Amino acid sequence: MVFRFKHAFSILFSLLLCFTATAQSNYTLQKALQTARSNNPVLKTEQFNVDAAQAEVITAKLFINPAFNFNYMNVAAKKYAEPNSNLYSAINNQYVFQLGKTFQVAGQHKYKTDVANKNVVFTEKNYTETERNLFADVAAKWLEVWTAQKQLDILITARNNIESLVITNQNRYKNQVITQTDLYRTELLSKQYAIQYKTALQEVVNRQNELKFLLGVQDSINIDTADNFLFRIPAEIDNLLTQSLQNRSDILTAKSFIEVSNSNIKLQKSLAFPQPELGFFYNPQNAVPYWGIYAAIDLPFFNRNQGEIKKSYLLKQQAEQHLFTVQSQLLTEITTAYASYQLQQQNVQNFQAVLQQSQTILDNVKYAYLKGGTAIIDFLEAQRSWLETQQQYYDALQQYRQGYIQLLYTTGLINQLAK
């Protein structure tokens, strides 16, 4: 009676889980990536870098403000003043109103604007690279939830299967068809599965909470375990390499930084030219008004921006070296990921026959045991073997999907999946 109640409770709990899953947000891998793109707190923080770079364009486009200057001079003491005059009368002082402006020459304003615009592009490409890395984390965590849920489903199936046998064996023991040892062995395995079920259930909850943070959501979530999330991957590795060399975000980021470096070289060269200041002044001296114009310019005897010019060339060399390194790394990553993906795909295909054999063995041994044709130890062994085979299959399927996600990441296709 106790086990019947437990079995009924298990069914009710499973139905409750199904109802809760329906009420929760159901996430395919693509939906998870799209949600992270919109809500992830790390991406929201990185977006400020793009906004700041765009603000720098506004600053670069601004011209230098004119400068206003005022000077006042007065005789220091009464004895120096004009006879019969007040110390602070106009005849005893001078003052100057001066208005001037510094001018940018040699294309300095144009190159500043160009560097700022190129830096916006670089920041946007770098943001896309941040997205690529985040999407890999989201996909990996989504897969962890999928794996935990599948392991839980296997245990539920195994537990329900053994609990139904517990009920049968209790009746058979009452009718003295089996020994008490056979009953205890069945109940022992049922208790073991119950403990494993609680652990697996907590694992699902933990992985879901971690995924919620990456998605930037607060509501309860549930993943679509039926989602195959298979994005179309070119069959030939040469196509993957060509496409990735042209489109992967870190490649585009490195190329963009080279463009920034080229513009910066032009800017630093232009800053070697001094910036002249031109203006006019009004200067009453001892009640006699004067006006005039003035010009000022730095004399480049010592500072001709040599250090910054050299630094700009070094930064370009660094950017070119970085691009070469990233391209070499890309070739290695894709070659490795593609080979692993193909191997794991073959392993999953080969496992289909093993699964079928395992299920057939369990069904046959269970039937034989219930008919008295074999001992309970044979059935328990078949049950354990079935569970191990199921777990090994999903381990292989997890590795295959990990290889698939890694291939999406290394090729940059994961960004397209999130659109």
C-alpha to C-alpha distance for 159 and 154, rounded to whole angstroms: 8
Segment 402-419 mean pLDDT: 90
The yes-or-no verdict on residue 1 having pLDDT over 50 is no
DSSP-based three-state secondary structure for 304: coil
Buried b (16+ CB within 10 A) or exposed e, 77-103: eeeebeeeeeeeeeebbbebebebebe
Q: Please give the structure tokens belonging to residue 353.
A: 């026959």
Tokens 């929760």 correspond to what residue? 24
Ordered domains of the chain (ranges, CATH)? 2-64+103-417 (1.20.1600.10)
Banded model confidence at residue 254, pLDDT cuts 50, 70, 90: very high
Dihedral sign from CA coordinates of 155, 156, 157, 163: positive
- The predicted pLDDT at position 230 comes to 64
Q: What is the mean pLDDT of the chain?
A: 87
Strand residue runs (E) in 160-319 = 221-223, 277-282, 291-296
Phi, psi torsion values for 273, nearest 5 degrees:
-85, 130
Phi, psi torsion values for 286, nearest 5 degrees:
55, 50
The residue ranking higher by pLDDT, 142 or 165, is: 142
Banded model confidence at residue 93, pLDDT cuts 50, 70, 90: confident
- The predicted pLDDT at position 119 comes to 96
The tally of CA atoms less than 13 A away on the side-chain side of residue 23 is 8
Residue 273 · residue 105 · CB < 8 Å: yes
Across 77-81, 118-122, 244-248, the highest mean pLDDT is recorded for 118-122
Question: What is this structure's pTM?
Answer: 0.82
Banded model confidence at residue 3, pLDDT cuts 50, 70, 90: very low
Q: Of 200-204, 259-263, 381-385, which range is least confident? A: 381-385
- The predicted pLDDT at position 112 comes to 96
- The predicted pLDDT at position 229 comes to 63
The yes-or-no verdict on residue 271 having pLDDT over 90 is yes
Read off the amino acid at residue 51: D
